[in-house]
């Protein structure tokens, strides 16, 4: 990276080749942008030489930050629904986590759709089921 100069475009195949996380990639991209260097990430089809590419990088970074800060629901239900401290089955707890996770990503689903992503790609990017994407979009109609 030290050999790059203003006007260059750093091209990488995958984020994990340049950074440990999307947050690291955003920091690296900002530092490079401050020096007039753009970034192209091939596997995510992002190019910070375009306004859309910069927007998408920021959206993905925001989603990643949200996922890190979002506490997954506990495997224990509120005592009024089940006996106090009664553990849910692993399957039920998993379903509740996945439903809560998909619901928590509703804003991200709508943002990615507005940015031109296909429903299938949204599901893949956000690691939720395609059915969840359709359910979220139907709820906003």
Q: Which residue has the higher pLDDT, 92 or 102?
A: 102
Reported as a single tens digit per residue, the pLDDT across 104-124 is: 788 888 888 888 899 999 888
Whether the Cβ atoms of residue 125 and residue 60 lie closer than 8 Å to each other = yes
What domains, with CATH codes, occur in the chain?
Answer: 1-69 (3.40.50.1390)
Q: Provide the pLDDT for residue 69.
A: 62
Q: Provide the pLDDT for residue 36.
A: 92
Instruction: Give the mean model confidence (pLDDT) for residues 117-136.
Output: 88
Integer Cα distance of 31 and 1 in angstroms: 11
Integer Cα distance of 96 and 91 in angstroms: 9
Give me 74's structure tokens: 């506990």
């Amino acid at each position: 990276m030290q050999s790059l100069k203003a006007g260059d475009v750093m091209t990488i195949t995958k984020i994990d080749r340049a950074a440990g996380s999307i947050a690291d990639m955003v920091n690296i991209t900002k530092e490079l942008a401050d020096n007039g260097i753009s970034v192209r990430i091939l596997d995510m089809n992002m190019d910070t030489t375009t306004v859309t590419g910069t927007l998408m990088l920021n959206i993905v970074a925001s989603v990643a930050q949200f996922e890190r800060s979002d506490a997954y629901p506990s495997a224990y239900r509120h005592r009024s629904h089940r006996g106090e401290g009664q553990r849910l089955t692993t399957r039920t707890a998993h379903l509740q986590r996945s439903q809560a996770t998909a619901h928590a990503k509703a804003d991200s689903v709508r943002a990615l759709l507005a940015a031109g992503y296909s429903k299938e790609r949204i599901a893949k990017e956000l690691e939720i089921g395609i059915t969840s994407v359709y359910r979220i979009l139907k709820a906003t109609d």
